[in-house]
């Protein structure tokens, strides 16, 4: 399997994540990628490539122009304002406030474009986010060119990012870019299968009113888990997208026996929808020892999940999302890929 990854991810490494009222070293840290790379090599998956330059036209087609301008200039504007820390949002447009008016002031703008305050922006975040998107785009290009599957080792992750908001460690929605690219290459219908522990609110939001991109997500129930405000089972799409969203929220402590049934249901829905290509939002934070999640999957379960995904028989782009049990993130990620490849 061809693998794409950019060292530029390192440019995004905030010192602080707002966690329980403390600033802690972010769970989403550069070493995650090192663990995945090391395991790939250990297992003989050595076709590792740097991505081409990001396709900016595709990123502009997906995202709000004001949001992209904001991401590109946020650090300079923050420093120019005289702020000395990393960029953390503190004021948000919420119920009964003006939702459609981005402020001029950078502190206000940050809140306008942010959906969760744990995620800090630093010098280099924009470049890293672009390089992550570029990996997804190059992996998708390989699949369009005829590869059965490719793995984009994206960092930072993408599935919480909407067309106009960052948060949940995400800035640009890599999986959505891949899905759009597959559509543009001629696939009539595409599916995104999100197996990250957290609901892929960004991906869902981007495709919610479209019937050409099916979205299925397995995740911790919103009553109990981030992102809290989306991911209920009764969210099924709207307009042309009516019936093209399928959410499988699950309770704390969910074991693989139950999770795998939801996976089979998601797979059946994707098959029934008639998808011709697949994007997998590949987070491995459903793992039992993940520090910020609450499912109980063990490492061999990820191999089995990969096997089940392969039964779709679709050209597949894997985009890395979460996974924070640092010692196991490589094993679990590569297990999905090997299960898929029939190893
Ligand atoms: C990103 B991905 C700990 C809670 C942090 C944000 C979680 C983002 C997960 N401070 N909440 O879906 O793995
Ligand atoms: Zn996650």
Q: What is the 3-state secondary structure (H, E, C) of 137-157?
A: HHHHHHHHCCCCEEEECCCCC
> pLDDT below 70 — which residues of the chain?
343
Q: How far apart are the first and last CA of the chain?
A: 12
Q: CA–CA separation, 169 vs 17, rounded Å?
A: 9
Other Cβ atoms less than 10 A from the Cβ of 154: the count is 34
Residue ranges of domains in the chain, CATH in brackets: 2-342 (3.40.800.20)
Other Cβ atoms less than 10 A from the Cβ of 24: the count is 12
What pLDDT, on the 0 to 100 scale, is given for residue 268? Answer: 98
Cα–ligand 2 centroid distance for 316 (angstroms): 20
Element housing 19 (H / E):
strand 17-19
What pLDDT, on the 0 to 100 scale, is given for residue 203? Answer: 99
Q: Which of 280, 218, 219, 269 is nearest to 244 (CA)?
A: 269
Q: CA–CA separation, 199 vs 208, rounded Å?
A: 14
What pLDDT, on the 0 to 100 scale, is given for residue 130? Answer: 99
What pLDDT, on the 0 to 100 scale, is given for residue 50? Answer: 98
What pLDDT, on the 0 to 100 scale, is given for residue 152? Answer: 99
Q: CA–CA separation, 342 vs 307, rounded Å?
A: 7
pLDDT tens digit sequence for 296-315 = 999 999 999 999 999 999 99
Secondary structure (3-state) at 24: strand
Place of tokens 């990628």: 33
Enzyme catalytic residues:
160
Beta-strand pair 149-152/17-19:
unpaired
What pLDDT, on the 0 to 100 scale, is given for residue 117? Answer: 98
The residue contributing the CA closest to ligand 1 atom 7 is: 168
For ligand 1, residues with CB inside 6 Å are 17, 19, 118, 157, 160, 168-169, 196, 198, 226, 283, 285, 292, 321-322
Q: CA–CA separation, 141 vs 54, rounded Å?
A: 12
CA 18 to chain centre: 20
Q: CA–CA separation, 203 vs 170, rounded Å?
A: 11
Residue among 118, 192, 200 to mutate when testing ligand 1 (max atoms within 8 A of CB)? 118
* Ligand closest to the CA atom of residue 196: 2
The residue contributing the CA closest to ligand 1 atom 2 is: 322
CA 238 to chain centre: 22
Classify residue 28 by its DSSP letter.
S
Residues 17, 25 contacting (CB under 8 angstroms) = yes
- Using alpha carbons, list the distances in angstroms from residue 30 to 134, 203, 225, 279: 17, 23, 24, 23
Cα–ligand 2 centroid distance for 169 (angstroms): 9
The residue contributing the CA closest to ligand 1 atom 3 is: 19
The residue contributing the CA closest to ligand 1 atom 12 is: 198
Cα–ligand 2 centroid distance for 125 (angstroms): 19
What pLDDT, on the 0 to 100 scale, is given for residue 195? Answer: 99
* Ligand closest to the CA atom of residue 119: 1
Beta-strand pair 190-194/316-320:
unpaired
What pLDDT, on the 0 to 100 scale, is given for residue 273? Answer: 98
Q: Which residues have a Cβ under 8 Å from the Cβ of 315 and sit 6 or more positions away?
A: 143, 144, 147, 148, 149, 182, 276, 277, 278
Cα–ligand 1 centroid distance for 226 (angstroms): 7
The ipTM is 0.98
* Ligand closest to the CA atom of residue 291: 1
Cα–ligand 2 centroid distance for 199 (angstroms): 7
CA 45 to chain centre: 22
Secondary structure (3-state) at 23: strand
What pLDDT, on the 0 to 100 scale, is given for residue 182? Answer: 98
Which atom, in ligand 1's list, is nearest to the CA of 24?
Answer: 10
Residues 245, 212 contacting (CB under 8 angstroms) = no
What pLDDT, on the 0 to 100 scale, is given for residue 34? Answer: 98
Cα–ligand 2 centroid distance for 317 (angstroms): 18
What pLDDT, on the 0 to 100 scale, is given for residue 246? Answer: 99
What pLDDT, on the 0 to 100 scale, is given for residue 37? Answer: 98
Residues 121, 18 contacting (CB under 8 angstroms) = no
The residue contributing the CA closest to ligand 1 atom 8 is: 168
Which atom, in ligand 1's list, is nearest to the CA of 324?
Answer: 13
What pLDDT, on the 0 to 100 scale, is given for residue 16? Answer: 97
The residue contributing the CA closest to ligand 1 atom 13 is: 322
């Amino acid at each position: 399997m061809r693998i794409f990854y950019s060292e530029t991810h390192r440019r995004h490494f905030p010192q602080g994540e707002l966690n329980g009222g403390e600033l802690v070293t972010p769970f989403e840290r550069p070493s995650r990628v090192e663990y995945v790379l090391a395991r790939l090599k250990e297992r003989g998956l050595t076709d590792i490539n740097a991505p081409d330059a990001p396709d900016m036209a595709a990123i502009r087609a997906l995202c709000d122009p004001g949001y992209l301008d904001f991401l590109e200039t946020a650090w300079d504007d923050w420093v120019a304002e005289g702020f000395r820390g990393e960029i953390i949002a503190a004021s948000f447009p919420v119920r009964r406030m003006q939702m459609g008016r981005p402020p001029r002031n950078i502190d206000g703008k940050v809140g306008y474009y942010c959906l969760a305050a744990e995620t800090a922006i630093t010098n280099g975040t924009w470049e890293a986010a672009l390089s992550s998107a570029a990996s997804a785009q190059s992996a998708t290009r390989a699949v369009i060119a005829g590869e059965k599957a490719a793995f984009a080792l994206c960092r930072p992750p993408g599935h919480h990012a909407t067309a106009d908001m960052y948060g949940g460690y995400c800035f640009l929605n890599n999986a959505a870019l891949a899905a759009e690219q597959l559509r543009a290459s001629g696939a009539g219908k595409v599916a995104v299968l999100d197996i990250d522990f957290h609901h892929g609110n960004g991906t869902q939001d981007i495709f919610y009113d479209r019937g050409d991109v099916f979205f299925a997500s397995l995740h911790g129930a919103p009553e109990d888990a981030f992102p809290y405000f989306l991911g209920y089972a009764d969210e099924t799409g709207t307009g042309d997208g009516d019936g093209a969203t399928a959410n499988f929220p699950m309770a704390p402590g969910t074991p693989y026996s139950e999770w795998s049934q939801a996976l089979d249901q998601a797979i059946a829905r994707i098959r029934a929808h008639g998808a011709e290509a697949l994007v997998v939002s590949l987070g491995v934070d459903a793992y039992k020892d993940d520090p910020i999640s609450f499912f109980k999957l063990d490492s061999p379960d990820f191999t089995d999940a990969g096997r089940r995904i392969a039964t779709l028989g679709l050209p597949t782009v894997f985009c890395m999302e979460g996974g924070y049990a640092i010692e196991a993130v490589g094993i679990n990620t590569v297990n999905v890929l090997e299960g898929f490849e029939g190893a």
